[in-house]
Amino acid sequence: MSMTHPHPVHPVASPRDPFVDVVRVLGMVLVVVQHWSMPVLLDRGGDLVTGNALASAPLVTWVSQVMPLVFFAGGAANYLSWTSRPQSAEKWIGKRVVRLGWPVLPLIAVWLPLPYLLGALGVPAQPLEVASRLVGQLLWFLAVYLLAVVATPLLSRVRAGVLVPAFAAGALAVDALRFSGFEAAGYLNVVFVWLAVHQIGFLYAQGRLARLTGRKALGLAAAGFAATAAMVVAGPYPASMIGMPGMPSNMAPPSAVMLAVFAGQLGLALWARERLNRALPAPVLAWLAPRMMTFYLWHMTALITVGGVAFLGFGARTPEPWSATWWLLLPVWLGWLALVLAVLTALMARFEAAPPASPTRARTVAAVGLSAAGLLTLTVTGFTPGTFVPAAGSAALALGLALLLRRRAAVPLPR
């Protein structure tokens, strides 16, 4: 991990590319809106039963499931950051780990005790457990993105044009194993699929996608969505790009069809690049970009707050998805969620400014391991009450970050 990168391997654009920021911001906003639009809340014998409004509209997810675009933007941003100035890998990775993990600490501080408090106040155990798990599941993105960050210094030394086909081939091979009965093998695609789109971000940052404009970009979009359709029709891939109960998932773990969807989405984004850049004026982008982690981490808390009050407090139930009533109430639903998230953002956005880090090689290695273990633990268990595991995962993440924080110089005592 002691490698340095004194000069870019390829010519790169400015360390701040507005298109990268626009894709990241709009991608995260679309992720939030998709999560907010999905829930179908029903009551079955006093238990909360959750459905998914997108279950009957799988084609919508080909456009709305934009996590591949978010990883693409992250890859471009990581490459530009890593190659912009001479620095050691351990220092660059250490600082990125702190920036990634620091905003999670207030989420932990709220959600570790909150299930116990709400349970003591009489909130039913079953919906409380559902909510506690959902909040933690969001952290899968940070765990995988941490992998991409750690891999950036090494993978930047290899031609991305070589790695992308290799990762894609690996993803197809893994799917062949997974759908042949070796289901656990599917989790290898966490590496192959997400690092493939992350590497395509490298290609963009190197200027190697500059010719993909106009008709060429639309051609890429058409080819990507045509490949998606072919893979779904031929099987074994389900049509939805989000997980559905009782069906194989294209997201958890990711499957190779996500690469085809990404090609379609990337083609559309590159075709509309100038329009997208104009869609968010610079002052708006400058305000939104530093708050994206807060939006992502806290949007599920907003959903649980509004949904909990509506379901438990007022006995509200979700109308039939896609019905006239559902469409009529959707803006009201989203408006309340946005209002609660705005309040949470005002309180929590300050934690996106991470404290100074002073990483060494040994501390960075240990911090990466602890942070990854903590994030993965919380992804699997959430903040479910009644077990010590969420506290252990939280402690691992906190300890990992503490290892990287800058130590203050000792002040000599007066004699």
pLDDT, tens digit, 9 for 90 and up, residues 49-98: 888 899 889 999 999 999 999 999 999 999 999 998 888 999 999 999 99
pLDDT on residue 4: 58
pLDDT in tens, 369-412: 999 999 999 999 999 998 999 999 999 999 999 999 976 544 44
- HEC string for the chain: CCCECCCCCCCCCCCCCHHHHHHHHHHHHHHHHHHHHCEEEEEECCEEEEEEHHHHCHHHHHHHCCHHHHHHHHHHHHHHHHHCCCCEHHHHHHHHHHHHHCCHHHHHHHHCCHHHHHHHCCCCHHHHHHHHHHHHHCCHHHHHHHHHHHHHHHHCCCCHHHHHHHHHHHHHHHHHHHCCCCHHHHHHHHHHHHHHHHHHHHHHHCCCCCCCCHHHHHHHHHHHHHHHHHHHHHCCCCCCCCCCCCCCCCECCECCHHHHHHHHHHHHHHHCHHHHHHHCCHHHHHHHHHHHHHHHHHHHHHHHHHHHHHHHHCCCCCCCCCCHHHHHHHHHHHHHHHHHHHHHHHHHHHHHCCCCECCCHHHHHHHHHHHHHHHHHHHHHCCCCCCCHHHHHHHHHHHHHHHHECCCCCCCCCC
Q: What is the pLDDT of residue 13?
A: 47
Say what the pLDDT of residue 84 is.
Answer: 87
* pLDDT tops 50 at residue 299: yes
Comparison of pLDDT for 12 and 381, the residue scoring more: 381
Q: What average pLDDT is seen over the chain?
A: 91
pLDDT bucket at 162, cuts 50 / 70 / 90: confident
pLDDT, residue 396, reads: 98
pTM greater than 0.85 (yes/no): yes
